[in-house]
Structure 1
Protein backbone atom coordinates (compact mmCIF):
# COMPACT_ATOMS: atom_id res chain seq x y z
CA UNK A 1 0.00 0.00 0.00
CA UNK A 2 1.48 3.37 -1.04
CA UNK A 3 1.76 5.93 1.72
CA UNK A 4 0.08 9.26 0.98
CA UNK A 5 2.55 12.07 0.38
CA UNK A 6 2.80 14.62 3.22
CA UNK A 7 1.72 18.22 2.55
CA UNK A 8 3.69 20.42 4.97
CA UNK A 9 2.71 24.10 5.21
CA UNK A 10 6.30 25.17 4.54
CA UNK A 11 9.72 23.58 3.94
CA UNK A 12 12.01 22.50 6.77
CA UNK A 13 13.47 25.61 8.42
CA UNK A 14 16.89 24.21 9.27
CA UNK A 15 18.02 27.27 11.21
CA UNK A 16 15.51 26.28 13.90
CA UNK A 17 15.26 22.46 13.77
CA UNK A 18 17.11 19.64 12.03
CA UNK A 19 14.47 17.91 9.90
CA UNK A 20 10.73 17.38 9.44
CA UNK A 21 10.63 14.87 12.29
CA UNK A 22 12.05 17.50 14.65
CA UNK A 23 9.52 20.21 13.77
CA UNK A 24 6.76 19.42 16.27
CA UNK A 25 9.14 19.03 19.21
CA UNK A 26 10.72 22.40 18.45
CA UNK A 27 7.35 24.13 18.06
CA UNK A 28 5.98 22.65 21.31
CA UNK A 29 9.09 23.67 23.24
CA UNK A 30 9.07 27.19 21.80
CA UNK A 31 5.44 27.79 22.72
CA UNK A 32 5.94 26.30 26.18
CA UNK A 33 8.83 28.67 26.82
CA UNK A 34 6.90 31.75 25.66
CA UNK A 35 3.42 30.97 27.00
CA UNK A 36 3.58 33.40 29.92
CA UNK A 37 4.48 36.24 27.54
CA UNK A 38 2.23 35.32 24.62
CA UNK A 39 -0.65 37.73 25.27
CA UNK A 40 1.82 40.61 25.57
CA UNK A 41 3.45 39.58 22.28
CA UNK A 42 0.05 39.34 20.60
CA UNK A 43 -0.83 42.86 21.74
CA UNK A 44 2.34 44.12 20.05
CA UNK A 45 1.60 42.18 16.89
CA UNK A 46 -2.11 42.92 16.49
CA UNK A 47 -2.10 46.57 17.61
CA UNK A 48 -5.37 45.91 19.44
CA UNK A 49 -7.29 44.79 16.35
CA UNK A 50 -7.33 41.04 16.98
CA UNK A 51 -10.36 40.70 19.25
CA UNK A 52 -12.98 42.30 17.04
CA UNK A 53 -11.61 40.62 13.89
CA UNK A 54 -11.79 37.14 15.43
CA UNK A 55 -15.35 37.71 16.64
CA UNK A 56 -16.42 39.19 13.31
CA UNK A 57 -15.07 36.26 11.31
CA UNK A 58 -16.59 33.65 13.66
CA UNK A 59 -20.02 35.24 13.19
CA UNK A 60 -19.49 35.73 9.47
CA UNK A 61 -18.75 32.05 8.90
CA UNK A 62 -21.77 30.98 10.91
CA UNK A 63 -20.97 30.39 14.60
CA UNK A 64 -24.11 30.89 16.67
CA UNK A 65 -25.42 30.49 20.20
CA UNK A 66 -25.63 26.90 21.33
CA UNK A 67 -23.06 25.53 18.86
CA UNK A 68 -20.49 23.01 20.08
CA UNK A 69 -17.10 24.32 18.93
CA UNK A 70 -13.55 22.96 18.99
CA UNK A 71 -10.82 25.61 18.96
CA UNK A 72 -7.63 23.91 17.73
CA UNK A 73 -4.24 25.35 18.75
CA UNK A 74 -6.16 27.44 21.25
CA UNK A 75 -3.00 28.83 22.86
CA UNK A 76 -3.95 31.30 25.59
CA UNK A 77 -7.55 31.23 24.36
CA UNK A 78 -7.70 34.31 22.13
CA UNK A 79 -10.09 32.76 19.58
CA UNK A 80 -11.86 30.59 22.16
CA UNK A 81 -12.67 33.68 24.25
CA UNK A 82 -14.54 35.29 21.35
CA UNK A 83 -16.20 31.98 20.44
CA UNK A 84 -17.48 31.56 24.01
CA UNK A 85 -19.10 34.99 23.83
CA UNK A 86 -21.08 33.82 20.81
CA UNK A 87 -21.72 30.13 21.46
CA UNK A 88 -21.56 30.17 25.28
CA UNK A 89 -18.62 28.88 27.39
CA UNK A 90 -20.14 25.43 27.91
CA UNK A 91 -20.02 24.74 24.18
CA UNK A 92 -16.32 25.52 23.65
CA UNK A 93 -13.40 23.09 23.93
CA UNK A 94 -9.85 24.36 23.52
CA UNK A 95 -7.15 22.00 22.23
CA UNK A 96 -3.39 22.59 22.11
CA UNK A 97 -0.23 20.48 22.07
CA UNK A 98 1.58 22.90 24.43
CA UNK A 99 0.94 22.35 28.15
CA UNK A 100 2.39 25.79 28.84
CA UNK A 101 -0.18 27.47 26.63
CA UNK A 102 -3.01 25.44 28.15
CA UNK A 103 -1.88 26.48 31.64
CA UNK A 104 -2.11 30.14 30.62
CA UNK A 105 -5.51 29.62 29.01
CA UNK A 106 -6.79 27.89 32.16
CA UNK A 107 -5.99 30.97 34.27
CA UNK A 108 -8.46 33.23 32.51
CA UNK A 109 -10.98 31.20 30.52
CA UNK A 110 -13.47 28.73 32.04
CA UNK A 111 -13.66 26.26 29.15
CA UNK A 112 -12.77 22.58 28.78
CA UNK A 113 -9.16 22.09 27.64
CA UNK A 114 -7.46 19.11 25.98
CA UNK A 115 -3.77 18.53 25.22
CA UNK A 116 -3.45 16.89 21.81
CA UNK A 117 -2.10 17.28 18.28
CA UNK A 118 -4.22 18.87 15.55
CA UNK A 119 -3.80 15.78 13.35
CA UNK A 120 -4.88 13.36 16.09
CA UNK A 121 -8.07 14.78 17.54
CA UNK A 122 -9.31 12.63 20.47
CA UNK A 123 -13.00 13.01 19.71
CA UNK A 124 -15.62 10.80 18.03
CA UNK A 125 -16.78 11.35 14.47
CA UNK A 126 -19.36 14.08 13.92
CA UNK A 127 -18.95 15.63 17.37
CA UNK A 128 -18.78 19.39 16.68
CA UNK A 129 -20.87 22.01 14.90
CA UNK A 130 -17.89 24.31 14.34
CA UNK A 131 -14.09 24.10 14.37
CA UNK A 132 -11.73 27.08 14.52
CA UNK A 133 -7.98 27.58 14.32
CA UNK A 134 -6.29 30.94 14.80
CA UNK A 135 -2.90 31.70 13.26
CA UNK A 136 -1.44 28.24 13.82
CA UNK A 137 -1.88 26.39 10.53
CA UNK A 138 1.79 27.06 9.71
CA UNK A 139 2.77 24.98 12.74
CA UNK A 140 1.18 21.65 11.78
CA UNK A 141 3.27 19.03 10.04
CA UNK A 142 0.79 17.93 7.35
CA UNK A 143 -2.03 20.08 5.98
CA UNK A 144 -3.97 17.24 4.36
CA UNK A 145 -3.96 14.99 7.44
CA UNK A 146 -4.94 17.95 9.59
CA UNK A 147 -7.91 18.82 7.36
CA UNK A 148 -9.01 15.18 7.23
CA UNK A 149 -9.04 15.15 11.04
CA UNK A 150 -11.05 18.38 11.08
CA UNK A 151 -13.65 17.02 8.69
CA UNK A 152 -13.97 13.79 10.67
CA UNK A 153 -14.93 15.46 13.97
CA UNK A 154 -17.42 17.87 12.39
CA UNK A 155 -21.10 17.04 12.11
CA UNK A 156 -22.55 16.86 8.57
CA UNK A 157 -22.75 20.47 7.44
CA UNK A 158 -20.46 21.62 10.27
CA UNK A 159 -18.25 24.63 9.56
CA UNK A 160 -14.51 25.19 9.76
CA UNK A 161 -12.78 28.57 10.09
CA UNK A 162 -9.00 28.94 9.82
CA UNK A 163 -7.48 32.35 10.44
CA UNK A 164 -3.99 32.99 9.11
CA UNK A 165 -1.57 35.67 8.04
CA UNK A 166 0.28 35.30 4.78
CA UNK A 167 2.44 36.95 2.16
CA UNK A 168 0.93 39.99 0.49
CA UNK A 169 0.42 40.03 -3.28
CA UNK A 170 1.51 43.67 -3.60
CA UNK A 171 5.30 44.15 -3.26
CA UNK A 172 4.97 47.35 -1.21
CA UNK A 173 2.60 45.74 1.29
CA UNK A 174 4.89 42.70 1.52
CA UNK A 175 7.89 44.97 2.18
CA UNK A 176 6.03 46.72 5.00
CA UNK A 177 4.94 43.37 6.42
CA UNK A 178 8.50 42.03 6.27
CA UNK A 179 9.86 45.11 8.05
CA UNK A 180 7.19 45.09 10.75
CA UNK A 181 6.85 41.37 11.43
CA UNK A 182 10.38 40.40 10.48
CA UNK A 183 12.22 43.12 12.39
CA UNK A 184 10.10 45.43 14.56
CA UNK A 185 7.90 42.83 16.28
CA UNK A 186 10.76 40.42 17.17
CA UNK A 187 12.81 43.30 18.58
CA UNK A 188 9.92 44.67 20.65
CA UNK A 189 9.02 41.17 21.84
CA UNK A 190 12.58 40.60 23.02
CA UNK A 191 12.58 43.89 24.92
CA UNK A 192 9.05 43.64 26.38
CA UNK A 193 9.04 39.90 27.08
CA UNK A 194 12.05 37.58 26.68
CA UNK A 195 14.77 36.32 24.35
CA UNK A 196 12.63 33.26 23.64
CA UNK A 197 9.79 35.59 22.67
CA UNK A 198 12.05 37.23 20.13
CA UNK A 199 12.88 33.83 18.66
CA UNK A 200 9.18 32.96 18.53
CA UNK A 201 8.40 36.03 16.46
CA UNK A 202 11.42 35.50 14.21
CA UNK A 203 10.17 31.97 13.61
CA UNK A 204 6.64 33.32 13.14
CA UNK A 205 7.82 35.56 10.31
CA UNK A 206 9.92 32.86 8.65
CA UNK A 207 6.93 30.50 8.56
CA UNK A 208 4.86 33.26 6.95
CA UNK A 209 7.54 33.99 4.36
CA UNK A 210 7.91 30.30 3.46
CA UNK A 211 4.27 29.17 3.75
CA UNK A 212 2.40 27.65 0.83
CA UNK A 213 0.04 29.96 -1.03
CA UNK A 214 -3.62 30.60 -0.13
CA UNK A 215 -4.58 28.76 -3.33
CA UNK A 216 -2.73 25.67 -2.06
CA UNK A 217 -4.57 25.83 1.27
CA UNK A 218 -7.94 26.15 -0.48
CA UNK A 219 -7.09 23.25 -2.78
CA UNK A 220 -6.03 21.05 0.14
CA UNK A 221 -9.24 21.80 2.04
CA UNK A 222 -11.22 20.65 -1.01
CA UNK A 223 -9.06 17.54 -1.43
CA UNK A 224 -9.80 16.69 2.22
CA UNK A 225 -13.50 16.68 1.42
CA UNK A 226 -14.67 20.13 2.51
CA UNK A 227 -17.40 21.80 0.47
CA UNK A 228 -18.28 25.45 -0.14
CA UNK A 229 -14.63 26.38 0.54
CA UNK A 230 -14.11 30.13 0.70
CA UNK A 231 -11.11 32.40 1.11
CA UNK A 232 -11.43 35.88 2.60
CA UNK A 233 -8.64 38.47 2.65
CA UNK A 234 -8.40 41.61 4.79
CA UNK A 235 -5.76 44.32 4.30
CA UNK A 236 -3.97 42.04 1.86
CA UNK A 237 -2.33 39.90 4.56
CA UNK A 238 -5.02 38.56 6.91
CA UNK A 239 -6.52 35.39 5.45
CA UNK A 240 -9.56 33.40 6.55
CA UNK A 241 -10.44 30.00 5.11
CA UNK A 242 -13.92 28.54 5.59
CA UNK A 243 -15.70 25.40 4.47
CA UNK A 244 -18.40 22.90 5.33
CA UNK A 245 -18.25 19.20 6.09
CA UNK A 246 -20.36 17.22 3.58
CA UNK A 247 -24.03 17.23 4.52
CA UNK A 248 -24.33 13.51 3.53
Structure 2
Protein backbone atom coordinates (compact mmCIF):
# COMPACT_ATOMS: atom_id res chain seq x y z
CA UNK A 1 0.00 0.00 0.00
CA UNK A 2 1.19 3.53 -0.70
CA UNK A 3 0.77 6.49 1.63
CA UNK A 4 -1.67 9.01 0.07
CA UNK A 5 -0.05 11.80 2.13
CA UNK A 6 3.45 11.10 0.83
CA UNK A 7 4.85 13.83 -1.41
CA UNK A 8 4.95 12.73 -5.03
CA UNK A 9 8.37 12.51 -6.68
CA UNK A 10 8.23 11.84 -10.44
CA UNK A 11 11.55 10.81 -12.01
CA UNK A 12 11.17 13.51 -14.64
CA UNK A 13 8.62 16.20 -15.58
CA UNK A 14 5.76 15.58 -18.00
CA UNK A 15 7.22 15.11 -21.48
CA UNK A 16 4.66 16.93 -23.59
CA UNK A 17 6.20 15.76 -26.87
CA UNK A 18 4.92 12.29 -25.90
CA UNK A 19 1.94 12.74 -23.56
CA UNK A 20 0.10 15.79 -22.27
CA UNK A 21 -0.40 15.17 -18.55
CA UNK A 22 1.04 13.05 -15.79
CA UNK A 23 -2.04 10.85 -15.59
CA UNK A 24 -1.44 9.80 -19.22
CA UNK A 25 2.14 8.65 -18.60
CA UNK A 26 1.40 5.05 -17.65
CA UNK A 27 -0.96 4.41 -20.57
CA UNK A 28 1.54 5.89 -23.01
CA UNK A 29 4.48 3.91 -21.66
CA UNK A 30 2.56 0.62 -21.57
CA UNK A 31 1.39 1.07 -25.16
CA UNK A 32 4.87 1.96 -26.42
CA UNK A 33 6.48 -1.06 -24.77
CA UNK A 34 3.69 -3.38 -25.92
CA UNK A 35 4.31 -2.33 -29.53
CA UNK A 36 8.07 -2.63 -29.37
CA UNK A 37 8.42 -5.75 -27.20
CA UNK A 38 9.19 -8.21 -30.05
CA UNK A 39 12.09 -5.99 -31.15
CA UNK A 40 13.40 -4.86 -27.77
CA UNK A 41 16.30 -7.31 -27.46
CA UNK A 42 17.55 -6.33 -30.90
CA UNK A 43 17.41 -2.67 -29.87
CA UNK A 44 19.18 -3.43 -26.60
CA UNK A 45 22.01 -5.15 -28.47
CA UNK A 46 22.58 -1.92 -30.39
CA UNK A 47 22.54 0.13 -27.21
CA UNK A 48 24.63 -2.10 -24.94
CA UNK A 49 27.31 -3.09 -27.49
CA UNK A 50 27.34 -6.59 -26.01
CA UNK A 51 28.24 -5.53 -22.45
CA UNK A 52 24.80 -5.70 -20.87
CA UNK A 53 24.60 -9.35 -19.84
CA UNK A 54 27.97 -9.43 -18.08
CA UNK A 55 27.27 -6.15 -16.29
CA UNK A 56 23.85 -7.22 -15.01
CA UNK A 57 25.14 -10.49 -13.61
CA UNK A 58 28.18 -8.91 -11.97
CA UNK A 59 26.00 -6.26 -10.28
CA UNK A 60 23.67 -8.94 -8.89
CA UNK A 61 26.64 -10.92 -7.59
CA UNK A 62 28.18 -7.83 -6.04
CA UNK A 63 24.86 -7.12 -4.31
CA UNK A 64 25.11 -10.54 -2.67
CA UNK A 65 22.51 -12.54 -4.61
CA UNK A 66 22.91 -16.24 -3.82
CA UNK A 67 21.36 -19.56 -4.78
CA UNK A 68 17.95 -19.95 -3.17
CA UNK A 69 17.31 -16.24 -2.67
CA UNK A 70 13.80 -15.11 -3.58
CA UNK A 71 14.01 -12.39 -6.24
CA UNK A 72 11.47 -9.95 -7.65
CA UNK A 73 12.60 -8.32 -10.89
CA UNK A 74 10.48 -5.21 -11.30
CA UNK A 75 9.77 -3.88 -14.81
CA UNK A 76 11.35 -7.09 -16.03
CA UNK A 77 10.74 -6.32 -19.72
CA UNK A 78 12.10 -9.14 -21.87
CA UNK A 79 13.82 -10.63 -18.83
CA UNK A 80 17.35 -9.29 -19.26
CA UNK A 81 17.95 -8.93 -15.51
CA UNK A 82 15.65 -11.82 -14.55
CA UNK A 83 17.68 -14.20 -16.73
CA UNK A 84 20.87 -13.37 -14.83
CA UNK A 85 19.08 -13.55 -11.48
CA UNK A 86 17.66 -16.97 -12.38
CA UNK A 87 21.12 -18.23 -13.30
CA UNK A 88 22.31 -17.37 -9.79
CA UNK A 89 19.27 -17.91 -7.54
CA UNK A 90 17.44 -20.60 -9.55
CA UNK A 91 14.44 -20.11 -11.82
CA UNK A 92 11.96 -21.28 -9.19
CA UNK A 93 13.05 -18.38 -6.97
CA UNK A 94 12.58 -15.54 -9.48
CA UNK A 95 9.42 -13.56 -10.29
CA UNK A 96 9.29 -11.09 -13.15
CA UNK A 97 6.82 -8.19 -12.93
CA UNK A 98 5.88 -5.75 -15.68
CA UNK A 99 2.87 -3.67 -16.66
CA UNK A 100 3.33 -4.54 -20.36
CA UNK A 101 1.79 -7.81 -21.50
CA UNK A 102 3.89 -7.62 -24.65
CA UNK A 103 7.09 -7.53 -22.62
CA UNK A 104 5.92 -10.38 -20.40
CA UNK A 105 5.25 -12.51 -23.49
CA UNK A 106 8.83 -11.96 -24.64
CA UNK A 107 10.15 -12.65 -21.14
CA UNK A 108 8.31 -15.97 -21.10
CA UNK A 109 10.21 -17.00 -24.23
CA UNK A 110 13.58 -15.80 -22.96
CA UNK A 111 13.40 -17.02 -19.36
CA UNK A 112 11.09 -20.05 -19.21
CA UNK A 113 10.35 -21.37 -15.77
CA UNK A 114 10.10 -18.13 -13.81
CA UNK A 115 6.77 -16.77 -12.59
CA UNK A 116 5.46 -13.67 -14.36
CA UNK A 117 2.95 -11.11 -13.10
CA UNK A 118 1.40 -8.06 -14.74
CA UNK A 119 1.38 -5.21 -12.22
CA UNK A 120 2.46 -1.64 -11.56
CA UNK A 121 5.98 -1.15 -10.18
CA UNK A 122 4.69 1.09 -7.40
CA UNK A 123 1.78 -1.07 -6.28
CA UNK A 124 3.25 -4.53 -5.72
CA UNK A 125 0.68 -7.32 -5.19
CA UNK A 126 2.71 -9.29 -2.64
CA UNK A 127 2.72 -9.98 1.07
CA UNK A 128 5.09 -8.14 3.37
CA UNK A 129 8.65 -9.45 3.77
CA UNK A 130 8.49 -11.90 0.86
CA UNK A 131 11.72 -11.28 -1.09
CA UNK A 132 15.46 -11.32 -0.43
CA UNK A 133 16.28 -9.17 -3.46
CA UNK A 134 14.41 -6.65 -5.61
CA UNK A 135 15.96 -5.63 -8.92
CA UNK A 136 15.13 -3.16 -11.66
CA UNK A 137 17.09 -2.69 -14.86
CA UNK A 138 16.96 0.66 -16.67
CA UNK A 139 13.29 1.31 -16.00
CA UNK A 140 13.20 3.67 -13.03
CA UNK A 141 12.60 6.61 -15.38
CA UNK A 142 9.29 5.02 -16.38
CA UNK A 143 7.63 4.90 -12.95
CA UNK A 144 5.24 7.66 -11.99
CA UNK A 145 6.41 8.30 -8.43
CA UNK A 146 9.77 7.39 -6.88
CA UNK A 147 8.49 7.77 -3.31
CA UNK A 148 5.49 5.51 -3.83
CA UNK A 149 7.56 2.90 -5.68
CA UNK A 150 10.32 2.72 -3.08
CA UNK A 151 7.85 2.57 -0.19
CA UNK A 152 6.11 -0.38 -1.82
CA UNK A 153 9.41 -2.11 -2.52
CA UNK A 154 10.66 -1.82 1.06
CA UNK A 155 7.44 -3.39 2.33
CA UNK A 156 7.82 -6.60 0.31
CA UNK A 157 11.52 -7.05 1.14
CA UNK A 158 12.53 -9.26 4.03
CA UNK A 159 14.42 -7.51 6.84
CA UNK A 160 17.98 -7.16 5.60
CA UNK A 161 16.88 -7.75 2.01
CA UNK A 162 18.52 -5.75 -0.77
CA UNK A 163 17.41 -3.58 -3.65
CA UNK A 164 19.41 -3.07 -6.86
CA UNK A 165 18.50 -0.42 -9.42
CA UNK A 166 20.50 -0.21 -12.64
CA UNK A 167 20.03 3.08 -14.42
CA UNK A 168 21.63 5.41 -16.92
CA UNK A 169 21.86 9.11 -16.24
CA UNK A 170 23.24 12.37 -17.51
CA UNK A 171 27.02 12.59 -17.59
CA UNK A 172 28.69 15.10 -15.27
CA UNK A 173 31.23 16.06 -17.92
CA UNK A 174 29.79 18.28 -20.68
CA UNK A 175 31.75 16.58 -23.47
CA UNK A 176 30.65 13.10 -22.39
CA UNK A 177 27.05 14.31 -22.20
CA UNK A 178 27.29 15.76 -25.71
CA UNK A 179 28.64 12.45 -27.04
CA UNK A 180 25.90 10.58 -25.18
CA UNK A 181 23.28 12.86 -26.72
CA UNK A 182 24.58 12.14 -30.22
CA UNK A 183 24.80 8.39 -29.65
CA UNK A 184 21.64 7.72 -27.62
CA UNK A 185 19.59 10.65 -28.86
CA UNK A 186 20.31 10.30 -32.58
CA UNK A 187 22.33 7.29 -33.70
CA UNK A 188 20.62 4.60 -31.62
CA UNK A 189 17.07 5.73 -32.59
CA UNK A 190 18.03 5.73 -36.28
CA UNK A 191 19.65 2.30 -36.06
CA UNK A 192 16.67 0.98 -34.08
CA UNK A 193 14.28 2.20 -36.76
CA UNK A 194 16.35 0.53 -39.49
CA UNK A 195 16.87 -2.73 -37.57
CA UNK A 196 13.31 -2.98 -36.24
CA UNK A 197 10.36 -0.60 -36.70
CA UNK A 198 9.43 3.07 -36.58
CA UNK A 199 7.93 2.41 -33.14
CA UNK A 200 11.35 1.16 -32.07
CA UNK A 201 12.85 4.45 -33.17
CA UNK A 202 10.20 6.29 -31.16
CA UNK A 203 10.98 4.15 -28.13
CA UNK A 204 14.65 5.10 -28.20
CA UNK A 205 13.87 8.77 -28.81
CA UNK A 206 11.60 8.67 -25.77
CA UNK A 207 14.29 6.74 -23.87
CA UNK A 208 16.75 9.56 -24.47
CA UNK A 209 14.26 12.23 -23.44
CA UNK A 210 13.71 10.48 -20.11
CA UNK A 211 17.48 10.36 -19.54
CA UNK A 212 17.96 14.02 -20.45
CA UNK A 213 15.14 15.12 -18.12
CA UNK A 214 15.63 12.64 -15.26
CA UNK A 215 16.18 13.92 -11.74
CA UNK A 216 19.82 13.84 -10.53
CA UNK A 217 21.14 10.81 -8.64
CA UNK A 218 21.02 12.68 -5.33
CA UNK A 219 17.22 12.81 -5.55
CA UNK A 220 17.00 9.07 -6.20
CA UNK A 221 19.27 8.38 -3.22
CA UNK A 222 17.19 10.74 -1.08
CA UNK A 223 13.97 8.96 -2.10
CA UNK A 224 15.46 5.57 -1.20
CA UNK A 225 16.49 6.88 2.20
CA UNK A 226 13.10 8.52 2.68
CA UNK A 227 11.41 5.17 2.05
CA UNK A 228 13.41 3.69 4.91
CA UNK A 229 16.23 1.92 3.09
CA UNK A 230 19.58 1.71 4.90
CA UNK A 231 23.12 1.56 3.53
CA UNK A 232 21.97 3.47 0.46
CA UNK A 233 24.71 4.03 -2.09
CA UNK A 234 25.44 4.57 -5.77
CA UNK A 235 28.26 3.15 -7.87
CA UNK A 236 28.92 4.75 -11.25
CA UNK A 237 30.56 3.14 -14.25
CA UNK A 238 31.86 4.93 -17.36
CA UNK A 239 30.40 8.14 -15.96
CA UNK A 240 26.77 7.36 -16.88
CA UNK A 241 25.82 3.85 -15.71
CA UNK A 242 24.57 3.92 -12.11
CA UNK A 243 23.96 1.03 -9.75
CA UNK A 244 21.86 2.13 -6.76
CA UNK A 245 21.55 -0.20 -3.80
CA UNK A 246 20.14 -0.30 -0.28
CA UNK A 247 18.92 -2.71 2.38
CA UNK A 248 15.59 -3.02 4.14
CA UNK A 249 15.69 -2.49 7.93
TM-score, with length taken from structure 1: 0.98
- Out of 219, 229, 234, the residue aligned to residue 231 of structure 1 is 234
User: What are the residue-to-residue correspondences of 1:1-248 with 2, within 5 Å?
Assistant: 3-110=5-112, 111-246=114-249
Work out the CA distance in 1 between the residues paired with 2:123 and 2:48: 30
Residues 70-102 of structure 1, C-alpha deviations (whole Å, 9 max, x = no match):
000000000000001111111000000000000
Contact 2:6/2:148 (<8 A) preserved: no
Secondary structure of the equivalent of 1:239?
Answer: strand
Deviation at 1:68, TM superposition (A): 0.3
Task: For structure 2, list consecutive stretches of 5 or more residues without a partner in the other structure.
Answer: none
Work out the CA distance in 2 between the residues paired with 1:47 and 1:122: 35
Secondary structure of the equivalent of 1:231?
Answer: strand
* Cα 1:67–1:179 shift into 2, 3 Å: same
Work out the CA distance in 2 between the residues paired with 1:23 and 1:141: 7
Secondary structure of the equivalent of 1:182?
Answer: helix
Secondary structure of the equivalent of 2:136?
Answer: strand
The RMSD of aligned alpha carbons is: 1.0
Deviation at 1:5, TM superposition (A): 2.2
Most deviating of 104-113 and 192-201: 104-113
TM-score, with length taken from structure 2: 0.97
The ranges of structure 1 where at least 4 consecutive aligned residues each deviate by more than 4 angstroms after the TM superposition are none
Contact 2:95/2:116 (<8 A) preserved: yes
Residues 188-234 of structure 1, C-alpha deviations (whole Å, 9 max, x = no match):
00000000000000000000000000011001100000000010000
Size of the aligned set, in residue pairs, is 246
